Structure 1
Amino acid sequence: MKTIEAIIRLEKVADVRRALTDKGFTSMTLFQVTGRGEQKEVRLDLAVGTEVVFDLFARAYIMMAVEDDKAEEVARIITQAAKTGSKGDGLILVRPVERAMKIRTGEPI
């Protein structure tokens, strides 16, 4: 089993969810987070007359657990659905899961 963690633009969440659901991947956890990568935005504050740097942006964080043989497919689906071609599109992490179990029953997944 592997976890897929993806940080994507908020406006791409519906596209990613639809693409995953269409391929049968419906289980996920979704958070709204704030962060930055390489991008930043400089704006002129007209009230003060100085530049203000915005370097933290709202993003969506998706976490999924999938079978080992499905991890690359899920990563590919997310990449295709979330890509805009601009800085700030996000990233995907694929990590091995040492152990997983259901809380209600304690049985392994």
Structure 2
Amino acid sequence: MTVMVRAIIRPEKSAEVMKALLDAGYPAVTKIEVFGRGKQQGLKVGNVVYDELHKDCLLIVVPEAEKMLVIRTILNTARTGTEGQHGDGKIFVSPVEDVYTISTGAKESAEKPNLVTA
């Protein structure tokens, strides 16, 4: 089975996480700038509440057997300091049912896709 690992991380950690994934053997990553809020419902500075905070979303498609290596790489690199902080992000894992190559229209095996994201 193939899975998609989605990591919502602090934008200032993005380059470091991308480098760590590359060094771990995962060069294919899609990065999307996103905005949102977590359990803290945003950030309050004085009387101003910022309820949509800038984050980066990284998408990585890997065989299920390799997902924990990818997750550990992200956790170890995206965490702020040694203990971590609120707002460091979340990681979501979902099964990938089908994979298609746009240029050829060919359906790839979900067991062994050509693990390239957009």
CA positional deviation for 1:43: 2.3
1:67 aligns to what? 63
Consecutive unaligned residues in structure 1, runs of 5 or more = 45-50
CA distance in 2, matches of 1:96, 1:43: 39
CA distance in 2, matches of 1:43, 1:101: 46
CA positional deviation for 1:27: 0.2
Whether 1:43 and 2:39 are equivalent positions in the alignment is no
Percent identity of paired positions between Structure 1 and Structure 2: 37
Which structure has the larger Rg over C-alpha atoms?
A: 1
1:16 aligns to what? 17
CA distance in 1, matches of 2:96, 2:43: 37
**TM-score (norm: length of structure 2):** 0.82
2:51 aligns to what? 55
Whether 1:101 and 2:100 are equivalent positions in the alignment is yes
Whether 1:86 and 2:85 are equivalent positions in the alignment is yes
CA RMSD of aligned residues (A): 1.1
How many residues are matched?
103
1:33 aligns to what? 34
Consecutive unaligned residues in structure 2, runs of 5 or more = 114-118
Could you say what secondary structure the match of 1:103 adopts?
Answer: coil
